[in-house]
Amino acid sequence: MGGHSVTLIIMATMLEAKPFVSGLGLEAVSEKPFPVFKSNNRVLVISGIGKAHAAAATAFGCVLFKPSRVINAGAAGALETGYPVGAMVQIRHIVEHDRPDIFTGRPVSHQPDMVAGGLAAAVLATGDRPVIQPADRKALSVLAGLVDMEAAAVVQTCRTLAVPCHIFKFVSDEPGHTNGLDIINNIRAFRTPFFEFINTFVLEHPV
């Protein structure tokens, strides 16, 4: 990444973002309407949880900082086996399982941009309701391998504003994790390795 091009990072919570702030040497520059951390050509915006928050934060960051690319990074739940806690993946396709297309009735879908380099890739479902219970995860697993609450909104906003967008997630919970405290502890355990993964394979390499 050269020149003065800006990478905008959108993350839902400070719980996930803490290693990014310290590891990138970011400084707080504002608290409202969203917490913003900045250093040179990297900007991190904490959106809050959910699609509406993610869309608003992405639009805010894109208009204010005019990034050359947007990265949405954070935790996601596993819907099926094959994605153990701590696994880190690039998202290649997103379905909004709670938003059917008015013409087809099928879930609206989105295609993020991809970073080259052979990184593991997965399909992600994005919805406004947490998917925690094993039965709910199993039902949704016919559409995706992972689930979050922000990525689809980030991609749709970036497409509207013609900004490249990449999605990276780490697995914070599996079907056996139904306790919120377990999920929080898993995020704390893997957020630093996730930052190191993003810093090494994404931030240090131009697209």
How many CA atoms, within 13 angstroms, populate the side-chain half-sphere of residue 20? 32
pLDDT attached to residue 207 = 56
Residue with tokens 């086996």: 81
pLDDT attached to residue 2 = 39
Instruction: List the pLDDT tens digit at each of the 207 positions of the chain.
Output: 334 699 999 999 999 999 999 999 999 999 999 999 999 899 999 999 999 999 999 999 999 999 999 999 999 999 988 899 999 999 999 999 888 888 887 888 999 999 988 889 999 999 999 999 999 999 999 999 999 999 999 999 999 999 999 999 999 999 887 778 899 999 999 999 999 999 999 998 765
pLDDT attached to residue 1 = 37
Tell me whether strands 88-100 and 107-110 are parallel, antiparallel or unpaired. Answer: antiparallel
CB neighbour list of residue 7: distance below 8 Å, 6 or more residues apart: 1, 41, 42, 43, 67, 68, 69, 70, 71, 203
What is the DSSP-derived secondary structure letter of residue 11?
Answer: E
| Residue 90 · residue 115 · CB < 8 Å | yes
What is the model's pTM?
A: 0.94
What is the DSSP-derived secondary structure letter of residue 38?
Answer: E
Which one, of 44, 69, 68, lies nearest residue 57 by Cα? 44
Q: CA–CA distance from 198 to each of 20, 112, 185 (Å)?
A: 9, 16, 20
pLDDT in tens, 180-206: 889 999 999 999 999 999 999 999 876
What is the DSSP-derived secondary structure letter of residue 200?
Answer: I
